[in-house]
Structure 1
Amino acid sequence: MDINEIRTKVAARQRITPEDAAYLWQNATNEELQALASQVRDRFHPAGSCTYMIMRIINYTNVCVAQCDYCAFYRLPSQDGGYVMQQAEVFAKLDELLQLGGDLAAFNGGFNPALPLAYYCDLFAAIRARYGDSLEFYALTIAEFMYLADHARLSYPETAQRFKAAGVRWITGGGSEILTEDFRRRHSKFKYTVAQYFEAQTAIVAAGLKTTATMVIGFDETLAERLEHLERTRQFQDQTNGLASFLCWTYKPYFTQIGGIEITTQEYLRHLALSRIYLDNVPRIRTSVLTQNERALEGLLYGADDFDLPIEDEVTQKAGATIDLHFDKILAYARTLGFTPTYRHVPQPEPVCSQV
């Protein structure tokens, strides 16, 4: 195997294998990864273009019984400092989002045993009634969706229909981290298995809801585990065509139980390129300003085409992430890299791959 064989494959729109991906990771230069990732990116998007959103992650509760050892945010039900937001607090955050020019909110909390399904359905129905289509919201992560289904003793299809009736359109791929059973046993043993994760996501797609793929790197995962995550994601997209995008970000180790050293931005960028080359059936690859700040925009050179400008996310901020609200400066950096950023509204139709 050599780089020329892989170049030929990508040019012919043939799939790379896990072995090809491992070779690229271990042997390809940054420039070679950029060229291959950009070639795949250009199947979906005009060269030199990129899109962005201004968004807010609303952490509606910090009470969680999952006890993931990489999380600095949660409080157990018996601990001080736990909270649950009421609708008025959520509305205030949404109003501020609109005032700042954003129109996307995402909800991320945890496994709070005191919150019934009705709390969520009432909240989301109230948001849809109050704001209509003036903003969109990612209602839950898949991990939270699974917990709520079990807590309510409902099947995944039944739970998906409950949320759909409450005005929910999106349930995102959050809670995936690294989708291998070994990783979950090491770090989040009270979360669900990989098989259960994809069972829930399949039910979400079957209900007519939209979803995304996510990945977090920089724990103690191996290259083989990263590639297994990408392979499972690609297979799921083959089966459902339900993934609107793929977002990868990096683990922030500060104030967490397992600690560690944050990986470099360059490692993140190389993984982003590998993801773009591997996920030949996912239209949109998103780079993480939340965890990489302005340098995330360099991901546009490594195959990404889209990014968030976040105004809040307590989960990652508690673990060391910093948020820069100087959006003009960040957008200017995209332009210096040779890209023209355009604001993207979530309801906009997603691009469709012309050929794998």
Structure 2
Amino acid sequence: MITLGGALHDIRSKIQNRERISSEEARWLWHNASDAELRDLAMQVRARFHAPSACTYMVMRIVNYTNVCVAQCDYCAFYRLPGNPEGYVLSEEQVFAKLDELLALGGDLAAFNGGFNPHLPLEYYCDLFSAIRARYGDSLEFYALTIAEFMYLADHAKLDYAAAAQKFKEAGVHWITGGGSEILTEDFRRRHSKFKYTVAQYFEAQRAIVDAGLRTTATMVIGFDESIDERLEHLERTRKFQDETNGLASFLCWTYKPYFTQIGGIEIGTEEYLRHLALSRIYLDNVSRIRTSVLTQNERALEGLLYGADDFDLPIEDEVTQKAGATISLQFDKILNVARRLGFTPTYRHVPQDRAETVPSL
């Protein structure tokens, strides 16, 4: 019979030897390791990529260019169906105004996130992104779409994923991020987002994005009704994709905000989030940058730096999570001082200079 101490000793030895842990060992850690033990193991993996006191951050804005969406995910408080009088689409000038404000606040990264709007053709996006690149050049970077939106647009335009990725690349796009993943299991998607794409299709699209020479990221949202096994399946799929492509620049996990959504629920606590962050760092041993979510955890997100994270952003807007209960603070110095009090030295990360960054070999 394996004792608790014996199992922990074996897992710790594997991590010290830079050996990969299995999903069974990750499950054991989740159920049996203390917060301090998880934190210690996560920081050991973090140290492979980053100096102990180093961390980076960005000031960014999520531009929600439309709230019209036909996906009907039951955890979303943001979307409006076509024909709803509250539906909107931002004009080019409205987008520019948001980007100008971002630059004035010292930020240089925008992320675009909207939905599956059947009234917006591919040209709307290509024209918008071309105009942004022409106006701002490399003074500002943008995450053009989430993978889920990319898939919808490709299908709507009757293009395969490779051709769609090339269209966006020609429009000046450098990044299509891993948004729209939530929990990457087929059961989860059947329960909560049946009009979204399958997990297999999601990774097919992300592979086409990487093959086109575009940058991408991994994301995850926890706190719905998912099991630990579903969380681990998501992490396993992410680790496998990174093994095969080395295309993921970072991994970001945040928590589901249940307010004003169809399924409601109770928001999970920061303690559970931090444990999951640590487990993600341990399991995703091939992703150098693990990001903690100030958007959903506010100042307490900085505690994630003690649980294996090394990067975070200071958001100035995101209607999707704000509609579901997230709050945003523009007191950047106050938030950064939390990181400093925890023993870290935050350094601004300029995403326009990040483009050629590669993931270090283990």
Tell me which interval the TM-score lies in, with the shorter structure as reference length.
Answer: over 0.9
1:230 to 232, 235, 243: 235
Partner of 2:357: 350
Match of 1:328?
A: 333
RMSD over equivalenced CA pairs, Å: 0.7
Equivalent residue in structure 2 for 1:66, among 63, 66, 71: 71
Using structure 2 for the length normalisation, give the TM-score: 0.97
Matches within 5 A, 1:1-356: 1=2, 2-346=7-351, 347-348=353-354, 349-350=356-357, 352-355=359-362
Moved over 2 A (4+): 347-354
The aligned amino acid for 2:106 is: G
**Partner SS, residue 209 of structure 2:** helix
Distance 2:357 2:167 in 1: 25
1:9, distance to aligned residue in structure 2 (A)? 0.4
Offset, 1:352: 3.3
* Contact persistence 1:43–1:353 (CA under 8 A): no
Deviation at 1:64, TM superposition (A): 0.1
Q: Aligned with 2:250: secondary structure? A: strand
Give the SS at the match of 1:295: helix
Aligned residues: 355
List per-residue Cα deviations over 1:237-278 (Å, max 9, x = no partner). 000000000000000000000000000000000000000000
- Distance in 2, matches of 1:256 and 1:289, equals 21
Deviations 1:13-52 (A, max 9, x none): 0000000000100011111111100010111111110000
Percent of paired sites with the same residue = 80
Deviations 1:44-95 (A, max 9, x none): 1111100000000000000000000000000000212000001000000000
Q: Secondary structure at the match of 1:252?
A: coil
* TM superposition shift of 1:127: 0.1
- Which SS does the other structure have where 1:215 is aligned? strand
Distance 1:326 1:38 in 2: 28
SS at match of 2:273: helix
Q: Shift of residue 307 of structure 1?
A: 0.1
Asked whether the equivalents of residues 246 and 359 of structure 2 are also in contact (C-alpha less than 8 Å), the reply is no
Which secondary structure state, in structure 1, belongs to the residue aligned with residue 258 of structure 2? Answer: coil
1:45 counterpart SS class: coil
Q: 2: CA distance between counterparts of 1:46 and 1:297? A: 16
Work out the CA distance in 2 between the residues paired with 1:225 and 1:260: 18
Q: Equivalents in 2 of 1:204, 1:244: separation in Å?
A: 13
Structure 1, unmatched stretches of 5+, are none
After superposition, give the CA deviation of every residue in 1:159-214 in whole Å (9 maximum; x if it has no partner): 00000000000000000000000000000000000000000000000000000000
Distance 1:212 1:67 in 2: 24
Alignment-mate amino acid for residue 350 of structure 1: E
Shift of 1:351: 5.8
Matched residues in 1 for 2:44 and 2:337: separation? 24
Q: Distance in 2 between the 1:37 and 1:132 partners? A: 38
Distance in 2 separating the partners of 1:76 and 1:268: 32
TM, length-normalised to structure 1: 0.99
Partner amino acid, structure 1, of 2:156: H
| Cα distance in structure 1, aligned partners of 2:339 and 2:204 | 38
**Shift, 1:354, TM fit:** 3.4
The residue matched to 1:75 in structure 2 has which SS? coil
